[in-house]
Structure formats: C-alpha cells, structure tokens
Chain A
Amino acid sequence: MSAAAEERNARAPWALTAPALMLFVGVLLIPLAMTVMLSFHDWGQYKGIEPVFILKNWHEIATDPYYAEMFWRTFRIAVLTTLLTAVLGAPEAYILNRMSGRWKSFFLLVILGPLLISVVARTLGWALLFGGNNGLVNKLLMSAGLIRFPIPFMFTETGMVIALAHVMMPFMVLSVWAALQRLNPQIENAAMSLGAGPVTIIRRIIMPQIMPGVLSGAIIVFSLSASAFATPAIIGGRRLKVAATLAYDEFLNTLNWPLGAAVATLLLVALVLIVVGSNALIERRYAEVFR
C-alpha cells in the first residue's frame, strides 16, 4: 500500500464520523462548556449576569448548608430509589424470565408501562393516589388495618422515592433480565443435582451471576433518579427541593443563572464521579462473570 493510500485510510474514519461528531460537539460539548463557564460569572439583582471570572457561586454552594442539605437529599432519594428497584426488580425479572411465552410478553409490557406514559401524567396520577390524608393509598392502608394514621406522601421523600421507583423499575428489570438471559439454562438443574435446595440455588448460583445486571441497572437508576426533574417537581414541589429542581428555580424564578449553572455543574460532576467510580469497582469485582 502506498503512503498516500495509507494516509487516506487513516483519515477515512474521521471523515465518516465527522457529521455525528459535529452534532455531538455542537449540541452537547459547547452548551456544557458554556454552562461550566456560566457558573463562574457574577450576578446581581439589578445588574444581571456579568461575564467575569469569580468563585462567588462555588463559594456559596460550598459554605451554605442549604445546598449541602439539598445535595444530600438528592443522593439519599436516589440511593433509596435504587435500593427499592433492586429489591423489587431483581425478583420481578427472575419471575418474568421463568414465565411461559405469552405471559412473558404480556408482563413485559406491564413492566414497560411506566415508560409509555408521559412523565407529567404519570406523576400527577401518583399525586392523586397520594393526595393528602384522604388519598386512595392512605384510605386503602387504613381500611386494611395496616396503619392507624395517614402517612404523608405528598411533599415527602417517601412519596418521591415511591414515584421514582415506579418509573425507574423498567430499567432495573430489563438490565437484570439481560443478565438472566446469559445464564446457562441447565445451571439450576446442575446445582440441584449436586444437592442444592431452591434457596441455596438462588443465593449461591443465580445471585452472583445476575449481580452485574443488578449493579448496571443500579447505575442507570441512580443517575436518572439523582437528575430527575419532573417527578420531584410534582411530588416535592417547592417545599422539598432536590438538585435538579433547585437549578431550575435558580434559572427561571430567581433568574440567577450563574448560581443555577454551578448547581447543575456540581450535580453533573458528582454523578459522573459516582458512576465511573462504581463502574470501575464493579468491573474489577465481577471480572470473571463479565468476561
């Protein structure tokens, strides 16, 4: 091959991916960089945004316990949502995987249901179910004798976690399901023939093999929950803000764009660190299962 042809070949991948790369740079990297830059600008009630480089916003976030509380709440809700989806979603996927053809497709549709409904309609549905002391959920629980006093769901972290877990469930179920698909269909029989009971089979044979699926599902659910906007906005409202609704308020109500940009940037950086970090941990821990 001539040197010119070799050079042409080396350039071909770049040329072919250029349109997609330009879109990527144009709609993702540039706005992101602008947001990061924005977080260093100044803002005043009467002067608006001043394009200077100061650390005022970052200093405020770092020192004001109001922001710390907000971020802790965001991650607490995301962690609880992740736990809830894992605890309910993994068995759900296991049961789904054992169903016969027709029922399997039906229940798969049921599980995907939340994703097919608009986020606002779905969350307002939860608001109706929760709705104060006379909400349907509370009435049911009380008439069933499970609780004596109504549980506050609206404007609480409990309500937010439940509503988020509902919509995040498909991601967990699908990712565990994918892991279950890779299981050798004879593996349970193999364990049984060696004398293992059903509980041992699940604990010693199935669980370790679907753990990567649970963990990758957890990463998806965690990052989506931590950055969720619509659900916290409707269930939590103004009373119970999380990082995403806080950034929104700074942008659109206070009009303090630089502070909102700082909150958004911090959320992004924290999420990326958590996701990349836990991914590295998982891959090292489950190297043998992943291969």
Chain B
Amino acid sequence: MAYLELEGVAKQFGAQTVVDDFSLAVGKGEFISFLGPSGCGKTTTLQMIAGFLDPTRGAIRLEGKDLAAIHPAKRGLGIVFQSYALFPHMTAAENVAFGLEMRNVPRGERAERVRAALAMVGLAGFEDRHPRRMSGGQQQRVALARALVIKPSVLLLDEPLSNLDAKLREEMQIELRQIQRTIGTTTILVTHDQNEAMSLSDRIVVMSQGRIEQIGTPQETYEKPASAFVSQFLGKTNDFAATIDRASAPARLIAGSWSAPAPAGLSGPVTISIRPERIGFGDAGLSAKIITRIFQGNHWLFQCESECGPAIVIRQNDGERQPAEGEAVRLSWRPEDMSVRGGAAA
C-alpha cells in the first residue's frame, strides 16, 4: 500500500483550475520531486498536502487515513518554506524547539533533541543565534532542523534552495540527500530546477499547467520523455520532423538525409527527439552546418542549422579534433537514443 496517496486531486480558484486530476502514490522513504515551471500547480499541490489549502476534488491519504479530516496542525508534517519562515524573535534553538514544545516533549528530552537536530544540519554551537544574524544557508539549515526534529511522517520542501547561490545550493543538495537517506523520511520537494530534481529524487513528477506530464525516475524522464513538454523542460533536446515510409520494404523512418529502420506499429509524419549529447558527427546522416561553437571546459556546444531546422550538439572535450564554425557536417545518432512521438497506428 502506498504511504502517501493523492487520488484525483484538483484545486480551483474561482473559474481557474490550478491543479487538475493529480494522482500519485508515494512509497515510504521515497524522495519525490514536483518539477515544473512557475504556475504549474506544484506549490498548490504541496499546500494541499500540508493542509493550507483544501482540494476542490479528490482525496489525499496518509497511511490510508484521509487527511481532509485532520487539521493542518495535527498532520505532523515537516515543512520547509521557500522563505524559511523562521521565527525572527526566537534563537535557532528556540525555533527548533517550538514543534517539540507544542508536542509537550519534556524539557530534558527537548534540549537533547534540539541539540542533535542542529548538529545533524551542521549548526552545532549556533543554538543562541537569532535568524537575522545568520546567513541564508544557515537559516536554511535551521528551517530543515525545525522541520525534522518533530520526526515528521512526510517532509515537504517548497523550493527550499532557490534563495541560495549556486555553489551553496549544490552543497545543500548533497547534504539534503544524505540527511534524507540517513533518517529515511518520505520527502516531497517542489522545485523548478531540473538539475535539483534529477540529482535528489527517486522519482520526478513533471507538471505543466496543473497537470501531470510524466511520473518516473530521473533517468526515465530524461531519456524517455512522455511528451514534448517533458523533453524540452528536462535538459536540452532536438525535435525533428520525420516521416515513416511504409511503402518501402522494410519500412524506414526518414528525417532529411538520415534514415533508420522504422519502429513497429507507426506510420505517417512523426516527431523525433534526440538529446544533444547523443548526436555525433559522422560521414552519413543529417546534413548540417555549424553556426556557432562554444567552448565550455569539459564539453563543446555546437549550434547547427540542419535540413530539419536548428540543432544543438554537445561533444565531450576528449582531445579529438572538433569541427569549426561554418564547416559542413553530417549528424547521426543511434535509433535507440531517440524517442518518437505522434504518427498514426499502422
């Protein structure tokens, strides 16, 4: 049985539907990310789980119990807010202790647990600091300790790292993952950062305009995107128009001067998408011309103009000679590296 279950959850504000038909089963100890552009309904969904918003339709169940009947204060979820929402008039230790106080944890045990929680997030010795005297990263850690110290059934993270600078964000991502692995709390992270979602999660829920586009492991969503939106949103991709020619035998999938044996069961015009790092320069394939070539340290980024429109190619900086700007090239890829969408059943 799923630990946390959302079934057909929808939220409407007036006539506007913000989240629609959201169904998801989260296993115990799983790390799930809600990923999507701003306004896709990911935060709204999180707030419905937290209980700050009531779903218009659908049910949310935690260990089989309907959460709608449970007041947000009694749900026992740990939440880290984008703005941290620390209590500015309390010290770090008082902030962390607040949830335990509300649970009438005896003073001695409370102090011990607060100390342990702050130590876990690397803030031992910061007990008596006020939030305003701490850096963004430190405030972030206090917020995490405050949410974790109550041993929440589910940890909800609302874009917790978006206010940190790039380097700190990377550090916190690793730390967050380690902490989550150690204590095994079921975690839901809301983010618009695909790298963050991919590096942290067991599964990603890709959302767009209030709907789920795809649920899958980071690798699945990246390599087998279920829709054009997913392939565009998760990293860079090349979409080419192609056709499946069933007149010839055996049937072939043709994009410009590139062709391959056609996948079974499809015919007519289709869209194929290939990740830029899966395209190579070869002797045969799609004709293209390099427009710009950008050096990025460990790799080269090529922007090309091909028969099928603009294309981007990423090549490892492996010491091989790379084509220059203006050079004519042929682009090729293995058929298993592309995904095919559209087309009629054949």
Q: Could you list which residues of chain A lie within 8 angstroms of chain B, going by C-beta atoms?
A: 184-187, 189-197, 200, 204-205, 208-209, 286, 288-289, 291
Select A193's contact among B50, B103, B132, beta carbons within 8 Å.
B50
**Is B326 an interface residue, CB under 8 A from the partner?**
no
Select B73's contact among A184, A186, A197, A204, beta carbons within 8 Å.
A197
Knowing A209-B89, A288-B130, say if A195 contacts B79 (CB, 8 Å): no
Residues of B within 8 A of A286 (CB): 89
Do the beta carbons of A195 and B83 come within 8 Å of each other? no
28 A-B residue contacts at CB 8 Å? A184-B83, A184-B85, A185-B83, A186-B83, A187-B87, A189-B50, A189-B85, A190-B86, A190-B87, A191-B87, A192-B52, A192-B72, A192-B73, A193-B50, A193-B73, A193-B75, A193-B77, A195-B73, A195-B99, A195-B102, A195-B103, A196-B102, A197-B73, A205-B87, A286-B89, A288-B89, A289-B88, A291-B132
Do the beta carbons of A209 and B88 come within 8 Å of each other? yes
Do the beta carbons of A186 and B74 come within 8 Å of each other? no
B99-117 Cβ-contact flags toward A at 8 Å (1 or 0): 1001100000000000000
Select A196's contact among B73, B79, B89, B146, beta carbons within 8 Å.
B73
Q: Which of B26-84 contact A (CB under 8 A)?
A: 50, 52, 72-79, 81-83
A204, B99: Cα distance in complex, Å: 12
Do the beta carbons of A194 and B99 come within 8 Å of each other? yes
Q: Which of B140-156 contact A (CB under 8 A)?
A: 146-147, 150
Do the beta carbons of B88 and A288 come within 8 Å of each other? yes
Total number of B residues with any Cβ neighbor in A under 8 Å = 27
Minimal Cβ-Cβ distance residue in B for A189: B52
Minimal Cβ-Cβ distance residue in B for A190: B85
Chain B nearest Cβ from A181, distance in angstroms: 14
A200, B73: Cα distance in complex, Å: 11
Query: Which 10 A-B residue pairs are closest in the complex by CB-CB distance?
Result: A195-B102, A194-B99, A190-B85, A186-B85, A208-B89, A193-B79, A288-B130, A186-B81, A187-B85, A184-B85
Given contacts A205-B87, A209-B87, 17 further A-B pairs with CB under 8 A are: A184-B88, A187-B87, A189-B52, A189-B72, A190-B87, A192-B52, A192-B72, A192-B73, A193-B73, A193-B79, A194-B73, A194-B102, A195-B73, A195-B103, A197-B73, A286-B89, A288-B130
Chain B nearest Cβ from A283, distance in angstroms: 14
Residues of B within 8 A of A184 (CB): 83, 85, 88
A187, B131: Cα distance in complex, Å: 13
Select B102's contact among A189, A200, A208, A209, beta carbons within 8 Å.
A200
Residues of A within 8 A of B146 (CB): 194
B254-292 Cβ-contact flags toward A at 8 Å (1 or 0): 000000000000000000000000000000000000000
**Is B98 an interface residue, CB under 8 A from the partner?**
yes
